[in-house]
Each structure stands twice: as C-alpha cells, then as structure tokens.
Amino acid sequence: MQPHDNHDTYNSNDRSRDSMDRIVLTVLIVAILGLGIYLLVAQFHVRREQLVEGSIYLGCGLGDPQIAALLGGQNVTRLPIFLDTA
C-alpha cells in the first residue's frame, strides 16, 4: 500500500472550496441584481422598456473600451473592473 498523500487531499478540498465560493458569489450577485430590478420597477415605476434601454446603453458603455482593446487599439482607456486579457 502507498502512504496517503495529504497534499492531494488539500488540493482537492481547495478546488472544491473555490468552486463553492464562485457559486455563492454568483448567486449573491444575481440576487442583488434581481432586487435592484424589482426596486426600480416597483418603487421607482421604471418601465421594462426603460430597463432594456438602460442595459443596452450600459453594455455598450462598458464593453466598448474592452472590445477596442481586444481589436488592437493602442490608446484605449480601460475601466478598472476589467481583468488584463494578455
């Protein structure tokens, strides 16, 4: 019999913990977004069409510098929320 390797057990548990952290973080972000949309519609009387329009503008505004950088733009200002893709 081979001796039990604690290092392999640690790596397996660490990966499992990392995946659980990502799942919890994703659920938390989706819940916060859902609550925000609910508040916008129910409390501030924002119409669904306005939400769609706002999300399009937000997506274009946040995605434009990142897309330009991926296509080879030299002097592109990136927002600090994006990770370095290189």
The lowest-confidence range among 13-17, 71-75, 80-84 is 80-84
pTM above 0.75, yes or no: no
Q: Is the pLDDT of residue 10 over 70?
A: no
Neighbours of 37 (CB within 10 A): 14
Domain boundaries, the chain: 1-46, 47-86
Query: Average pLDDT, whole number, for the chain?
Result: 76
The phi and psi torsions of 84 (rounded to 5 degrees) equal -70, 125
pLDDT confidence band for 50 (50 / 70 / 90): very high
For residues 76 and 64, is the Cβ–Cβ distance under 8 A?
Answer: no
